[in-house]
Amino acid sequence: MVQGMLALLSDRFSAGPERLLLLGYSQSVGLNYRFVARNPRAFGGLIALCGGIPGNWDSQGEAPIGTAIFHLARTEDEFFPASEAPAVEARLRRRASDVTFHLEPGRHRFPLKASKPVRAWMDRVFQPGRRSE
């Protein structure tokens, strides 16, 4: 389904991967990480909100991921504890060269007040003229 949507967007808008963003919240974050691990240059950026890394992330190989990642965790998340945040960040950095990790106050809720760091990241990653690595 994701690959079909990528093809549609690429054809319809002449958009290459460097202009495409994949966003996930909660459980879909793990699915999105699995997708970019298998398709490391399919998207210019991935935003992961209040989610985790798949259990087999480290065993999926060592292939570097060319997708820029913004991972947001919450300090009081009852499903993805903040105490695990440093390990999650380290695991992401082993595979991806462009990782922004942000810890936001609050519980496992969509982080509406996180628009400022997300916007700054998007402005950097999707700036005009930037080429994918």
pLDDT at 73: 96
The string of pLDDT tens digits covering residues 49-86 is 999 999 888 776 677 888 999 999 999 999 999 999 99
Provide the residue range defining the domain that includes 117.
2-7+19-125
Q: Is residue 13 part of a domain?
A: no
Q: Is residue 86 part of a domain?
A: yes
Q: Is residue 131 part of a domain?
A: no
CATH code at 77? 3.40.50.1820
Q: How many domains does the chain have?
A: 1
Answer whether 48's CB lies under 8 Å from 68's CB: no
Q: Is residue 132 part of a domain?
A: no
pLDDT at 131: 53
Q: What are phi and psi of 69, to 5 degrees?
A: -120, 135
Sign of CA dihedral 52, 23, 57, 64: negative
Q: Is residue 33 part of a domain?
A: yes
Q: Is residue 67 part of a domain?
A: yes
The string of pLDDT tens digits covering residues 89-133 is 999 999 999 999 999 999 999 998 899 999 999 999 998 766 544
Other Cβ atoms closer than 10 A to 131: 7
The string of pLDDT tens digits covering residues 9-50 is 888 988 888 889 999 999 999 999 999 988 888 999 999 999
Q: Is residue 133 part of a domain?
A: no
Q: Is residue 113 part of a domain?
A: yes
Reported pTM: 0.90
